[in-house]
């Protein structure tokens, strides 16, 4: 099977993930400064779990540069944790949060696809 598209897809996915990582770090820094200027009283501790899940998902995109399957799986997993936390807190804008997580979810899926195709190609070469 012809897998000439995998290196191009891998390059696109890595560029996409770099953009998301840079934006994620900038948003995280802005969130830290915003939190100092805006104190909510009382602020429930579980409200910190959703942004933490997104930060971990974004960091897993960086991990996927070295280990595509592990990083992609963890990025997808943390995006799903974020969605489940959002649902568990009783909010009703599920599709809005899904749209917010898509820029992280899609590269995670693409890293998994690249890993799967590369592994399948290596097995095909050693098996014949």
pLDDT at 39: 65
Q: Which residues of 40-66 are buried (b: 16+ CB within 10 A; e: fewer)?
A: eeeeeeeeebbeebbbbbbbbbebbee
Quickly state the pLDDT bin for 37 (edges 50, 70, 90). Answer: low
Domain boundaries, the chain: 5-120
> Where does the chain have alpha helices with state H?
5-37, 49-63, 68-88, 94-127
pLDDT in tens, 65-122: 999 999 999 999 999 999 999 888 888 888 888 899 999 999 999 999 999 988 887 7
DSSP, collapsed to helix, strand or coil, labels residue 1 as: coil
Q: Judge whether 109 and 68 are in contact, CB under 8 Å.
A: no
Q: Judge whether 32 and 25 are in contact, CB under 8 Å.
A: no
CA atoms of 104 and 49, how far apart (whole Å): 17
pLDDT at 38: 64
The predicted model scores a pTM of 0.85
CA atoms of 56 and 77, how far apart (whole Å): 10
């Amino acid at each position: 099977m012809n897998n000439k598209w995998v290196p191009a897809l891998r390059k696109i996915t890595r560029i996409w993930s770099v953009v998301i990582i840079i934006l994620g770090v900038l948003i995280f820094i802005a969130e830290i400064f915003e939190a100092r200027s805006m104190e909510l009283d009382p602020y429930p501790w579980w409200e910190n779990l959703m942004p933490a899940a997104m930060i971990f998902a974004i960091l897993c995109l960086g991990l996927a540069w070295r280990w595509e399957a592990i990083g992609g799986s963890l990025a997808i997993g943390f995006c799903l944790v974020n969605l489940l936390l959002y649902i568990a807190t009783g909010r009703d804008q599920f599709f809005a949060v899904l749209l917010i997580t898509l820029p992280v979810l899609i590269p995670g899926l693409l890293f998994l696809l690249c890993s799967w195709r590369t592994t399948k190609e290596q097995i095909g070469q050693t098996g014949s």
